[in-house]
Amino acid sequence: MLSLRLISVLGLVVLSLSVCYADPVSLTLASANNYVSPDGGYVAPYMLQVTGTTQTFPVICDDYTVDVAPGLSWTAQTFSLTNLGSPGDSTRFYGSSTFANTNSATVAYDEAAWLAYQTGLFGGPAATNQQISNLNYAIWYLFDSTGAHGLSTDPGYANNVNDINTLLGDAYSAVTTQPLPDYFSNVVIYTPTCNGQTPCDATTTPPNSQEYIGFTTVPEPGSFALLATGIVGLVARKPLIKIRE
């Protein structure tokens, strides 16, 4: 049986991880993929870095409205698919009601997560650069279906519109007609802080940066990282599993 100490430690771990969502984190765009889409823009993967550390992790951009160059830093909040719309700066497009094929922001973010996973950058089957480009444009079009920011005339979209529409149809079917795959519980949405504006206003000066989707562990503030180190040491010091004799 597990000792009370192990139960307490496990509870502390769960608590430390749960409070990470919606906590602010300082991010830097470390690099962008070497593959360039037909319009000359970068597509996934992008590598984010926790500012002041060497930790980097791959993400995909869901926001076509703002350009971000490697080296730019900003503050973001972290959300899971289950805490969309929670107090604070919510996901950038959560307050909208017009998407490519749904009026539900929840469904739209589920679709974006499904499309992101198909890139193979987060554990799914490997995809070619062109497939990754189409998937990224599908995510962009999902949140910018009016083309107000020039996406509808972007060669990366216009030259592949049939494939992109097929991907959007597949995404909608995947998230509305069957249970969501287990990997959905690992989705992290990195939303730039916007001083309480919902949806996030990309027209502010300076811009609030882009919103990204990843499947990595939520970057922990230093205190949580230190706590985790202490927990590991505690577990290593003394066996916590007792066996009935």
What's the pTM? 0.76
Strand ranges for 1-154 from DSSP E: 24-32, 46-50, 56-61, 73-79
pLDDT digits (tens, 9 = 90+) for 66-114: 777 788 888 888 899 998 888 766 778 887 778 999 999 999 999 999 9
**Per-residue pLDDT band at 219 (split at 50, 70, 90):** very low
What is the dihedral angle through the alpha carbons of 123, 86, 171, 70, rounded to the nearest 10 degrees? -60
Q: Quick one: which of 69, 207, 63 has its CA closest to 140?
A: 63
pLDDT digits (tens, 9 = 90+) for 107-159: 999 999 999 999 999 988 889 888 988 999 999 999 988 877 788 888 888 88
Region 28-40: what's the mean pLDDT? 70
194 Cβ contact partners less than 8 Å away, ≥ 6 residues apart: 89, 92, 200, 201, 204, 208
> How many other C-beta atoms can be found within 10 angstroms of the C-beta atom of residue 192?
24
Task: For CA atoms 210, 110, 55, 230, give the dihedral sign.
Answer: positive
